[in-house]
Structure 1
Amino acid sequence: MHHPTIRAMFGAIAMLAGSAHGATVDAGDYTRLPDGTNLAVLYAQHVEGKELYSQGTRLSGNARLSADIGILRAVRFIDVGDVTVIPQFLLPFGKLRTGGDLSGLSSTNGIGDLIFAPTVHLIQDSTRKRALAVTPWLYLPTGRYDRNNALNALGENRWKLDLQAGYITPLSDRWSLDLVGDVIWYGRNSDYGSAGATLRQSLSYQAQGHLRYHVDAGTYVAGMLSCEWGGETKVNGASQGDRQQRTKGLLSVGHFVTPTVQLLGSYGRDFSVRTGAREDHRFNLRMVKVF
C-alpha cells in the first residue's frame, strides 16, 4: 500500500470525528435573538462508518471507525449600535475507536481544540425571521495531540480559520430556508507523524442548505444537504492526493420542551465520499438552555 493511501486512512479518522470538516450548523443557528440573551448548549454525537475511500476508490469495506463526541458551547447576544455581535466558545471532547482492518490502531480520547466564533449579524430585521451573518470560526491548537499516535482527530496541532456566512429567509408562514457557505484556511502542523514532518493543507469549502417546516412556534422539522470539496494536503511538500469531495444529508427535529429548553435530535449519513471515511450513521443530540 503506497504512502499517500496510508495517510488517507489515518486522515479519514479525523474526517469521521468532524475536525477536518467545515463548521456544519443546525437549522436556525443564525436566528438573531434579543440583546442580552445567553445560551448554554451541550452536544452529544455518535458517528460510525466502515468504508474508506482514496481518490474515489474504495480501499476497505471493513475499516470500522466510530466516534463519540461531546461539545460544550457558550453563547451571548450583544447589540453594539445597529449591529448584533455574538461571542461564543466551543470545547469538543470525546473518544475515537477503530476495528476491522484498522484494529491495529489504538483508541484515543481527550479534549479537542478550543473554538472561538464571534458572529456578526448584518441585517436588523424587526421580525427576526430574516438574518444575514458572518462567523469566523477560529480553531486554537489546544487539544490533545501526539505525533506518534495515528489517531489525532481531537487535536490538530495547528491553527484553523473557517470563515462562514449564513442567511435565513422565510418562504411562507410554515417554511423557511437556511443557506450557509464556508471557506477554510489551515495553518501548518510542523510536528506531523513520527518523523515530525510538516503538514500543509489547501483551502477547503462547504455549502449547506437547510429547509425547515415549522409545525408550530416551538417545533420544527428540517432537512439538510451539504457538499464539501478541496482541502488537499502536502507532507514535506509531497502531495497526498487526498482532495475531498463529500455530499451528506441530515434530518432533524427540534422542540422546546419548556419555554427556555430546546431539544434537537438529528440523523444523517454521507451519500458520497471521494477521500476518507464514509459516515454510515450519524446521531446528534443537542440541548439548549436559554437564559
Structure 2
Amino acid sequence: MRHWMSPIALATSVLFSVPANAIDIMPGDYTVLPDGTNALLLYGQYSQSSKLKVDGVGEVPDSKLGLGIGIARYLHYTSIGGVPVGLQAFLPFGGFTEARIGGAEPLTKSGIGDLTLGITAWPLSSADPTGTTLGVTAYVSLPTGAFRDEPGAINIGSGTWTFTPQIGLIQGLGNGFFFDGALDVAVRSDHTENGIEFSRDASVQVQAYLRYQFSATTNVSFGYSGTFGGKDFVSDTYAGTKTRSDQLRLFGSTFLTPTLQVQGMIGTDLNTEGGFRNDFIGTVRLMKLF
C-alpha cells in the first residue's frame, strides 16, 4: 500500500537522475531514410534551473541546477520483409555546473549516462507533401550510467532499467508545412539501494511540433513537449517529486552539405510540478550521413 507524505526530507531522499527518461525527438526525426544509410549524431545540450517545486511543500528556496551534457548516437536504416526498420544506440555523458537544494549542495555524480538501445519499424511511410509517416520504436535503457546511491544524490545515470515504447508521426499538411508528433511511456523498474526501495510510476511524454520547410534542406519548427505522471516513491511513500512539466521549444535546421546537417533548439518550461523548472534549455545537434 502506498502512502502520501510531504516532508522536505522525503523529497531530498529521492535519487534524482538527470536527464529524465523521456525520449526527445527533433522535427523530421521519423523520416525514413534509404536502406543501408548510416547516421552519426552528436548533441550538445545545456540547461539551467533556478526553481524546485515539491508537492506538499511548494517552492524550495535557494535551489538551482545547471547541467551540460553531450550525446553520441548512431543509427542504421534497413528493411525487414519490406518494412523499413531503424536500429540505433545512444550514450549521454556530462556533468553539473551547479547543484543546490534548499541552500545545501547535494552529492552529484557526473560522467557517462545510461546506454539506450532502440529499434523502429515504419508501418506507414510517404514522401508525399501531404502523406503520412508512422513509426513505432522500442527503447531499452541500461543502468550503465554514473550513479551514487546516497539519499538525495543527483546522478547522470538512473541506477535501473527503463523501457520506453514510442509512437512517432509525420503528417504532411501541404504548402511546405508538416506536423511532427510523438508519444512515449517510460516504465522504470523498481530498485533497492542500501535497503531502501525506490520506485517511479510510468511517465508519459507528448511532443507536438509544426514545421515549415523553406526548402528541401532548411526548416524551422515550433511546438510543445509535456511530461505527465512519473511520481517517485521511497519505500512506498510518495516523495513529492514527479515528471510533470510543460515546455515550449523552437527549432531550426539546415544541411550544410548533402550529408551534413546542423540543428538547434531552445526551450523554456512554462510549468513544472514536483521537480526542477528549466528556465532555459538549448541543444545543438550535428548529423553526418554515410
Using the size of structure 1 for normalisation, the TM-score is 0.90
CA separation in 2, counterparts of 1:144 and 1:100? 20
Say which is worse superposed, 144-153 or 32-41, in terms of deviation.
144-153
- 1:107 CA displacement: 4.4
Are 2:165 and 1:166 equivalent residues in the alignment? no
Q: Supply the AA of the counterpart residue of 1:30.
A: Y
CA separation in 1, counterparts of 2:101 and 2:157? 24
- Matched-pair contact (CA < 8 Å) for 2:230–2:244: no
What secondary structure does 1:87 align onto? strand
- Matched-pair contact (CA < 8 Å) for 1:12–1:52: no
Q: Supply the AA of the counterpart residue of 1:269.
A: T
- 1:60 CA displacement: 3.0
Runs (5+) with no aligned partner, structure 1: none
Q: Supply the AA of the counterpart residue of 1:60.
A: V
After superposition, give the CA deviation of every residue in 1:160-211 in whole Å (9 maximum; x if it has no partner): 01111011011113100012111121101211xxx44111111121111011
The residue number in structure 2 matching 1:219 is 218
The residue number in structure 1 matching 2:86 is 86
Q: Supply the AA of the counterpart residue of 2:245.
A: R
The residue number in structure 1 matching 2:253 is 254
Aligned length: 284
The residue number in structure 2 matching 1:116 is 117
RMSD (Å) for aligned C-alpha atoms: 2.1
- Matched-pair contact (CA < 8 Å) for 1:94–1:111: yes
- 1:270 CA displacement: 0.5
CA separation in 1, counterparts of 2:239 and 2:284? 34
Structure 2 counterpart of 1:5, from 3, 8, 12: 8
After superposition, give the CA deviation of every residue in 1:107-162 in whole Å (9 maximum; x if it has no partner): 43110110001111111425495310111111101111121273343111111011
Say which is worse superposed, 60-69 or 149-158, in terms of deviation.
149-158
- 1:239 CA displacement: 2.1
In the TM superposition, what are the counterparts of 1:67-146 in structure 2 within 5 Å? 67-96=67-96, 97-99=98-100, 101-125=102-126, 127=128, 130-146=132-148
CA separation in 2, counterparts of 1:204 and 1:239? 15
- Matched-pair contact (CA < 8 Å) for 1:112–1:155: yes
Say which is worse superposed, 242-251 or 135-144, in terms of deviation.
242-251
Q: Supply the AA of the counterpart residue of 2:212.
A: Y
The residue number in structure 1 matching 2:197 is 198
- Name the CA shift for 1:220/1:57 in 2 (closer, same or farther; >3 Å): farther
CA separation in 1, counterparts of 2:54 and 2:40? 39
Q: Supply the AA of the counterpart residue of 2:32.
A: R
The residue number in structure 1 matching 2:274 is 275
- 1:90 CA displacement: 0.5
The residue number in structure 2 matching 1:264 is 263
The residue number in structure 1 matching 2:179 is 177
The residue number in structure 1 matching 2:60 is 60
- 1:6 CA displacement: 3.8
Are 2:23 and 1:23 equivalent residues in the alignment? yes
- Matched-pair contact (CA < 8 Å) for 2:142–2:160: yes
- Matched-pair contact (CA < 8 Å) for 1:50–1:61: no
CA separation in 2, counterparts of 1:164 and 1:49? 27
- 1:13 CA displacement: 5.4
What secondary structure does 1:168 align onto? strand
CA separation in 2, counterparts of 1:7 and 1:146? 17
CA separation in 1, counterparts of 2:29 and 2:56? 32
What secondary structure does 1:171 align onto? strand
CA separation in 1, counterparts of 2:14 and 2:24? 19
Runs (5+) with no aligned partner, structure 2: none
The residue number in structure 1 matching 2:36 is 36
- 1:83 CA displacement: 0.8
- Matched-pair contact (CA < 8 Å) for 1:252–1:264: yes
CA separation in 1, counterparts of 2:57 and 2:184? 26
CA separation in 2, counterparts of 1:11 and 1:239? 10
After superposition, give the CA deviation of every residue in 1:59-79 in whole Å (9 maximum; x if it has no partner): 235312100010000000011
CA separation in 2, counterparts of 1:89 and 1:173? 34
What secondary structure does 2:214 align onto? strand
Using the size of structure 2 for normalisation, the TM-score is 0.91
